[in-house]
Structure 1
Amino acid sequence: MAEDRPESPRPGRIPLGVALGILTAGVGGLFLAVAAVAGATAGVVPPARRPVRAAIRRYASALVRYERRRLARFHDADLSPGATGGRREVGYLAVRLLPGVLGLLAYGLLAVGVVLATIVLLATLRGDLGVADALVQVVVGAALFLVNVQAVVSVGALDVRLARRLLGPSRRELLEDRVRELVVSRAGVIAAVDAERQRIERDLHDGLQQRLVALGMLLGRARRSRDAARTAELLAQAHSDVQQAVVELREVAWRVYPSALDDADLGQALELVAQRSDVPVRIRCDLPARPARQVETVLYFVACEALTNAAKHAAATLITVEIGAGEGAVRMAVRDDGVGGADPAGRGLSGLARRVGALDGRLCVDSPAGGPTTVSVELPCG
């Protein structure tokens, strides 16, 4: 599964974003000056303190919201929301004066460079400046222009860094979010384990247990039969039922623990699953090294569930499983050409999502009506 990352900002957007940042810094500086005067006045007039502070917080929040939109539009900065507060937002507006001043300085130097380039061009056209001297001026001007462009880009990067530091979540907030995620993940894992136990119990009760009961009755009939041919027929049927019961028992056991991974890697274990599938399955496993066992186990269960759903509900004629690694993660995509309409909130897929989430991974189900269906998994792998 392709990892979702924000695209790098287009080069043409950064200068415009910095230029707008200069204007918003000026507006922010003017607001801070007015707020300082209003705050000082409110300190003298106690009844005015509360409405003045409320107005300062309101306008500061409005300016900060605009800054967020500007950074998102022109710098592709995805700022995760942190704790909000009047002092924090006013502090950000004060710190924002630094990139505003630096941006103004960079554009001022650029304007001076344009004026000097115009003077050199006019002098060259009038013949006051020789060709060699003009070339030297062009080389020097080009070098200064590149430095100036880099300065503008650096101002934009500083602007984004300050916003993330002052408007984004603090380290404590990140830790609290992580604790909440772990609590939810732990509860989800417990729920998934309980759901899997219930599923195994149903498989044993409705499948294997019923088959064994029927097998006992069949053997009883064979024992009471006085016809040798009829007894042989009943014993042959019992033998067939025993073989089918062994297959079902193996299926249940593999749902509890995929023992095939003890002696084979993930690709080979899935090949065994594909051989038992009623729908043709193509598997491509390109892993430079075996991932951790828990990662292999989760991928195995996800692939088995996706294959089962495609065979039972999707009316698929071909299923492909692609497994690869890169950038510290293992990715798997299971695609089928069926009718689509898979429900990610269903019991099977939601349980798998909890399993994947327990390893800090992501599971995505793309199954529009009419198909095709793609189940994608990404798990971190150190």
Structure 2
Amino acid sequence: MQDLTRRNLLRRSALGTVGLALGGVSAVVGLGYLLVAVPGLVVPPARPRIYALARRIADLNRARVRRFLGSDEEVTDYSGAQALRYIGARSVIGMFGVGVFVLFGLGVVGVSIMAWQVLTGQEIGGGGTAEEGDPSEALIFFMVGALLLFIVVWGLVGVAELEKAMVKHFLGPSEEELLRRRVSELSVSRAGVVEAVNEERRRIERDLHDGVQQRLVALGMLLGRARRAVEPAQVDTLLRHAHEEAQQSLRDLREVTWRVYPIALDKGGLPPALEAVAERSSVPVRLDCDLPSRPDLATETVAYFVVSEAVTNAIKHGAPSAIEIAVYRDGSWLSVQVRDDGRGGAAATGTGLSGLARRVAAADGHFGVESPPGGPTVVSARLPCG
């Protein structure tokens, strides 16, 4: 794992260095383009071509930042005037990057000269042999080299962060665009919540009709037969069956109420509610719930239903031999993961899981399902709980 992390860090550093080097070249090109294009804006027929080329240059720079510097800025539309402003601003930052690379090159040349002097027995800095030199000079040169390296590294890091910030500022979505997108997301979430509520109501109705109601009908029939029976043994048998049916009806009714809303959430929070889910499961369940502080009730409720529905779906469709539940805080997020070793093939568009996806989306969370054929199936959700 450490080797993978080290290789990943080296890869990102190499990509970032290449990206900044290309940025330095594009800064020189962009600066030259501005010197030619800006005066041409006074000619109205030339403006469309100037703006089109500016957008092309801005697109190339945005692709460079995303590819080499790891920016996740979303693609948005922008005007040619915005592209020109971006080129002008980033040309300045790009020239800073060029300066850092020049500084790095001077450092490499200086270190090479000092290394050659050491190998040939000369005094560092020239002027004599190593025996005649002062050892403190080597220490001074070393400290200057280390300081130069420090400035170069953090200079490159600073230029990279400025590059990403400028793409976001000049080419990213405006406040109005972000507001429109948020309104659209809320409209979709509201529709999803309404559909999820209606789907939940239909499920409860099916559970009551096909489960509890049928058992109560059977209970009434058993009691009716017991009233009409003449033989005491037959009466005892019918009453025993009626008692068993009544107990099963209570269990079914309790199951329905737990799926509507678990009262354990109000009493003890999420851990005891999930322990009840594990206890009621017909498949061995391993629960790992690490919550140093209790989330808000709305988040707990969504997390509970994600676990409960995922466990129910796994038992009903996946035929697993074991289920693992992990719930933990990840900064300002509550992460929920349900993993089973069943047959796999679960689809996020299925009836139960799609309802969970809408419920999680309504809470501004993220929902995911990984279920390759043959398993394992992993249902995960991340819920904001800051």
Would you say same fold, with TM above 0.5?
yes
Q: How far did residue 121 of structure 1 move?
A: 5.5
1:204 to 2:208 alignment = yes
Indicate the residue corresponding to 2:36 in structure 1: 34
1:86 to 2:88 alignment = no
Once residues 363 and 308 of structure 1 are traced to their aligned partners in structure 2, the CA distance between those partners, rounded to angstroms, is 17
Once residues 277 and 123 of structure 1 are traced to their aligned partners in structure 2, the CA distance between those partners, rounded to angstroms, is 76
Q: How far did residue 77 of structure 1 move?
A: 1.2
Indicate the residue corresponding to 1:97 in structure 2: 91
Indicate the residue corresponding to 1:4 in structure 2: none
Q: Is the 8 A contact 1:360 1:380 kept in 2?
A: yes
Residues 110-131 of structure 1 show CA distances to partners (whole Å, capped at 9, x for unaligned) of 3344444555566664451524
Of 210, 218, 225, which residue of structure 1 is paired with 2:222?
218
Indicate the residue corresponding to 1:310 in structure 2: 314
Please give the residue correspondences for 1:285-304 in structure 2 after superposition, counting only pairs within 5 Å.
285-304=289-308
How many residue pairs are counted as aligned between the two chains?
Answer: 368
Q: How far did residue 266 of structure 1 move?
A: 2.0
1:250 to 2:244 alignment = no
Residues 146-187 of structure 1 show CA distances to partners (whole Å, capped at 9, x for unaligned) of 223322332222222111211112233223222222222122
The TM-score normalised by the length of structure 2 is 0.88
Indicate the residue corresponding to 2:14 in structure 1: 12
Of 45, 54, 72, which residue of structure 1 is paired with 2:48?
54
Once residues 290 and 364 of structure 1 are traced to their aligned partners in structure 2, the CA distance between those partners, rounded to angstroms, is 24
Letter in 2 for 1:214: A
Letter in 2 for 1:12: A
The CA RMSD measured in Å over matched residues stands at: 2.2
Task: Check 1:67–1:234 CA distance in 2 against 1; reply closer, same or farther (3 A cut).
Answer: same
- 197-206 vs 268-277, greater mean Cα deviation: 268-277
Q: Is the 8 A contact 1:329 1:379 kept in 2?
A: yes
Indicate the residue corresponding to 1:21 in structure 2: 23
Indicate the residue corresponding to 1:147 in structure 2: 151
Indicate the residue corresponding to 1:76 in structure 2: 70
Higher relative contact order, chain-length normalized (CA < 8 Å, sep 6+): 1
The TM-score normalised by the length of structure 1 is 0.89
Once residues 280 and 150 of structure 2 are traced to their aligned partners in structure 1, the CA distance between those partners, rounded to angstroms, is 63
Q: Is the 8 A contact 1:15 1:153 kept in 2?
A: no
Residues 328-381 of structure 1 show CA distances to partners (whole Å, capped at 9, x for unaligned) of 222121111100011111121111111112222112111111001111121122
Once residues 293 and 272 of structure 2 are traced to their aligned partners in structure 1, the CA distance between those partners, rounded to angstroms, is 14
Once residues 171 and 31 of structure 1 are traced to their aligned partners in structure 2, the CA distance between those partners, rounded to angstroms, is 29
Indicate the residue corresponding to 2:4 in structure 1: none
Indicate the residue corresponding to 2:267 in structure 1: 263
Q: How far did residue 12 of structure 1 move?
A: 2.6
1:344 to 2:345 alignment = no
| Identity rate, percent | 47
Once residues 122 and 378 of structure 1 are traced to their aligned partners in structure 2, the CA distance between those partners, rounded to angstroms, is 57
- 31-40 vs 78-87, greater mean Cα deviation: 31-40
Q: How far did residue 98 of structure 1 move?
A: 0.6
Q: Is the 8 A contact 1:82 1:170 kept in 2?
A: no
Q: How far did residue 258 of structure 1 move?
A: 0.9
Indicate the residue corresponding to 1:325 in structure 2: 329
Structure 1 gaps, min length 5: 1-6, 44-48
Aligned-partner SS, 1:169: coil
